[in-house]
Amino acid sequence: MKKIGILGGMSYESTIKYYDLILQKYYDRYHDYNYPEILIYSLNFQKVIDYELGTNEGIYVDYLMTGINSLQNGGVNFIVMAANSPHAVYDKLVQRSKVPILSIVEVTATEAKRKNLRKLLLLGIKFTMQSSFYKDCFAKSDMEVITPLDSEQDIINKIIFDELVIGKFTQESKEMLLKIVNNYDVDGVILGCTELPLILQQNDTDVLLLDTVEIHVEAALKYCIQQR
């Protein structure tokens, strides 16, 4: 069984979910305790936010690489970044990493294509919604990714940073998010922030939700088992 590295801390809520879900899914599938070994490196969330929104991309990449290097030194065989937004610099990280980094964007695109989706709404932090990495990846498979209005992006960003990343979930915020979802005629919605699946579940709406955490974890476990 290959060792999984989780680059986390972005936020701790989603990092916990990754760890829990990997082991839960393993047991549900195999009904034994031969769990994959997992090493977690939890970054300083404030530094991630500051470097992500800063003007020097190199500093941002360097900081993410401190965590990746630590995981590599710990003997992991591949890495998952437990967040969507760092995938804005995914290509640069892959170039410097000595082990594979499993992309949350690519595996989500694969799942959307498998479901024959054509037009999707992307929800996430404002940085992710205003970046092009999701649109560019999905466009390779002839899928269109759209984003909410700027005013709606502000609402989503505030809910994520003021509530979800610290484990606060309210019915009011859920209803606000669902109202935004219902404003768009799309085949599906990408929950492009790893905290969003903590408040939005499929039974909340008739619109198909792509839970990026669930999809990423499934892909990681599959990769881990295939590499035994």
pLDDT at 66 over 90: yes
Question: How far apart are the C-alpha atoms of 203 and 209, rounded to whole Å?
Answer: 10
- Percent of the chain whose pLDDT exceeds 90: 98
- Per DSSP, the three-state class of 89 is helix
- Give the pLDDT confidence score for residue 108 in this predicted structure: 98
CB of 199 closer than 8 Å to CB of 167: no
Dump pLDDT digits (tens) for 194-216. Answer: 999 999 999 999 999 999 999 99
- Average pLDDT of the chain to the nearest whole number: 96
H or E stretch at 95: helix 90-96
Per-residue pLDDT band at 226 (split at 50, 70, 90): confident
Residue 72 zone, left/alpha/beta (φ > 0; ψ -120 to 50; rest): alpha
What are the structural domains of the chain?
Answer: 4-103+215-226 (3.40.50.1860), 105-211 (3.40.50.1860)
Dump pLDDT digits (tens) for 95-139. Answer: 999 999 999 999 999 999 999 999 999 999 999 999 999 999 999
pLDDT at 85 over 70: yes
- Give the pLDDT confidence score for residue 117 in this predicted structure: 98
- Give the pLDDT confidence score for residue 1 in this predicted structure: 84
Tell me what the mean pLDDT of segment 219-226 comes to: 92
pTM comes to 0.95
Can you read off the two tokens belonging to residue 47? 């530094």
Tell me what the mean pLDDT of segment 14-31 comes to: 96
Can you read off the two tokens belonging to residue 54? 């800063």
pLDDT at 227 over 80: no
Count of residues for the chain? Answer: 228
